């Protein structure tokens, strides 16, 4: 048994070497590393060409975006299992082996996923991700929230990808769109430990959250149109609430030059509208409003806490 690891990269000179190192250092060694150079204009290609490992295969194409790069990687993949990792994320050394073992122990499942921790631009721990455990039918849980959290997470049986590749028309939410299609047809299995280190950086923050909203709403509508969702329509408001909660905090956490107060208020209002119970939690409401209106105050408080630690 062997695994194809697909690495889409565009101008990733600052992080791609560390990402590839985390792949090559996996305890599961029977892998091919398919690097899709998506029209990089920096030193990315030079960096990856100078990594001496016969398992690496490099393919360069004109720039076409993340979904197209992943699909190009799928086309080139020759192994029984596929995993994706973005060129600024990292894996713990046992990630592939643990997920592969989980699929061996659960032959009815086609997707194994792990938990995520978040790191900064220096690869230092920031915070833990959600610790959501789902084994078996994951479709209803994914309709509500993307508990896989990112595209660098799952290990997938190649045969399951007959459902089709990533939607290249989506500006965002292409990951959850793929996971929903997989969950509509196959079982999932959870590896109960954090194995994906997802990098948060100021440059990776979305500068167009309204476009992200539009893509996410399209994916939600698509998900609830599947035959499997026929009896799950009551979950739609919960799904929308989770989306707008995410977008609210994304807007709040954006760097000052990208922050859009009115957009944050709009997201916050839709969060409340789709989950009126939130409005009863005065502490959550007050904190969210203050963060939107007085972001500098919270930044200074955070900096003070760090200085006192």
Residues 142 and 250 in one domain: no
pLDDT of residue 237: 95
Prediction pTM value? 0.89
Where a domain ends, among 169, 203, 237?
203
As given in the structure block, the two tokens for residue 262 are: 């009115």
How far apart, in whole angstroms, are the C-alpha atoms of residue 2 and residue 82? Answer: 9
Half-sphere exposure of 140 (CA within 13 A, CB side): 9
Residues 192 and 302 in one domain: no
Residues 179 and 243 in one domain: no
Q: What is the CATH classification number for the domain harbouring 71?
A: 3.90.550.10
Residues 211 and 198 in one domain: no
Per DSSP, the residues of 176-217 read HHHHHHHHTTSEEEEEEEEEEEEE--GGGS-S-HHHHHHHHH
pLDDT of residue 94: 98
pLDDT of residue 256: 63
* CB 212 within 8 Å of CB 172: yes
Residues 24 and 111 in one domain: yes
pLDDT of residue 264: 85
Where a domain ends, among 165, 186, 203?
203
Show the domain range for 280: 207-308
How far apart, in whole angstroms, are the C-alpha atoms of residue 203 and residue 196? Answer: 20
Residues 251 and 181 in one domain: no
How far apart, in whole angstroms, are the C-alpha atoms of residue 151 and residue 106? Answer: 22
Residues 162 and 270 in one domain: no
Where a domain ends, among 155, 177, 203?
203
Nearest to 74 by CA among 158, 188, 182: 158
pLDDT in tens, the chain (309 residues): 799 999 999 999 999 999 999 999 999 999 999 999 999 999 999 999 999 999 999 999 999 999 999 999 999 999 999 999 999 999 999 999 999 999 999 999 999 999 999 999 999 999 999 999 999 999 999 999 999 999 999 999 999 999 999 999 998 999 999 999 999 999 999 999 999 999 987 655 445 888 999 999 999 999 999 999 999 999 999 999 999 999 988 888 766 666 677 888 899 889 988 987 776 665 666 666 656 665 554 454 444 444 444
Reported as type and span, the H/E element at residue 294 is none
Residues 196 and 292 in one domain: no
* CB 136 within 8 Å of CB 187: yes
Residues 95 and 158 in one domain: yes
pLDDT of residue 303: 46
Q: Is 78 helix (H, G, I), strand (E, B) or coil?
A: coil
Residues 26 and 168 in one domain: yes
Count the Cβ atoms, other than its own, within 10 Å of residue 42. 13
Nearest to 242 by CA among 274, 201, 276: 274
* CB 143 within 8 Å of CB 235: yes
Q: Based on the structure, what is the number of domains in the chain? A: 2
pLDDT of residue 277: 78
Residues 170 and 49 in one domain: yes
Residues 182 and 244 in one domain: no
pLDDT of residue 205: 47
């Amino acid at each position: 048994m062997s695994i194809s690891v697909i690495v889409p990269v565009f101008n990733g000179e600052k992080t791609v070497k560390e990402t590839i190192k985390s792949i090559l250092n996996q305890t599961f060694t029977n892998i091919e590393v398919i690097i899709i150079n998506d029209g990089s204009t920096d030193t990315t290609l030079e960096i990856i060409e100078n990594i001496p490992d016969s398992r690496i295969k490099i393919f360069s194409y004109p720039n076409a975006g993340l979904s197209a790069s992943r699909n190009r990687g799928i086309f080139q993949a020759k192994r029984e299992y596929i995993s994706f990792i973005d060129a600024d994320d990292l894996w713990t050394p046992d990630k592939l082996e643990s997920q592969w073992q989980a699929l061996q122990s659960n032959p009815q499942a086609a997707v194994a996923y792990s938990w995520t921790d978040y790191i900064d631009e220096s690869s230092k721990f920031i915070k833990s991700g959600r610790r959501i455990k789902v084994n078996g039918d994951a479709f209803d849980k994914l309709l509500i929230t993307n508990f896989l959290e990112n595209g660098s997470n799952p290990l997938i049986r190649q045969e399951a990808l007959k459902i089709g590749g990533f939607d290249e028309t989506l500006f965002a939410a292409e990951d959850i769109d793929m996971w929903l299609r997989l969950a509509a047809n196959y079982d999932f299995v959870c590896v109960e430990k954090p194995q994906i280190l997802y990098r948060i950086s100021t440059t990776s923050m979305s500068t167009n959250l309204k476009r992200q909203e539009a893509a996410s709403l399209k994916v939600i509508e698509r998900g609830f149109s599947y035959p499997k969702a026929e009896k799950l329509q009551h979950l739609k408001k919960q799904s929308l609430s989770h989306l707008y909660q995410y977008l609210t905090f994304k807007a709040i956490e954006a760097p000052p030059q990208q922050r859009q107060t009115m957009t944050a208020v709009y997201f916050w209002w839709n969060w409340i509208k789709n989950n009126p119970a939130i409005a009863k939690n005065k502490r959550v409401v007050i904190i969210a409003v203050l963060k939107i209106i007085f972001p500098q105050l919270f930044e200074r408080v955070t900096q003070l806490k760090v200085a006192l630690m």
